[in-house]
Amino acid sequence: MRLLANENFPREAVALLRVRGHDVLWGRTDMPGAADPAVLERAEAEGRILVTFDKDFGKLAYYSGLPLPCGIILFRISLPSPQHAAAKIAAAIEGRSDWVGNFGVVEDARVRLRPLPR
């Protein structure tokens, strides 16, 4: 899967996803300090699913009418340790195949999907 992990994404999760064969760009190293709209634009341009802990991306995608055919996954999970977070994040991402075209919210007990504007 082609992913763009926002700057706030845990290093351990990025590393684990890469080890599992995913193509992951990480905002902290690949585009440090980039504004949220620029991050969304890069995800769209490269056909990547944006993974983040920043709920502002939902507002950007919906209220600006930004068509984002790649998808956004917002994580709202507890993070007791970096290793636990990485395993939980990887399991959530790999547990579904319908992220593209949707805004997903991953919580500890459930996953919600809502179509992105076209």
- Element containing residue 75 per DSSP (H, E): strand 72-76
Extract the tokens encoding 73. Answer: 């996954």
DSSP state of 9: S
* pLDDT of 65: 62
When the candidates are 1.10.287, 3.40.50, 1.10.3470, 3.90.930, the CATH number that belongs to 2-115 is 3.40.50
Q: In the prediction, which pLDDT does 60 show?
A: 84
pLDDT of residue 62: 75
Q: Which residue ranges make up each domain of the chain?
A: 2-115
pLDDT of residue 93: 96
Task: Please tell me whether the overall predicted TM-score, pTM, comes out greater than 0.85 for this model.
Answer: yes
| Positions of the chain with pLDDT lower than 70, given as ranges | 64-69, 118
What is the pLDDT at residue 79? Answer: 86
- SS3 percent helix, strand, coil of the chain, rounded to 5, is 40, 25, 40
CA dist., res. 111 & res. 99, Å (int): 11
Cβ(116)–Cβ(61) below 8 Å: yes
Does residue 86 contact residue 19 with C-beta atoms inside 8 Å? Answer: no
- pLDDT at res. 73: 95
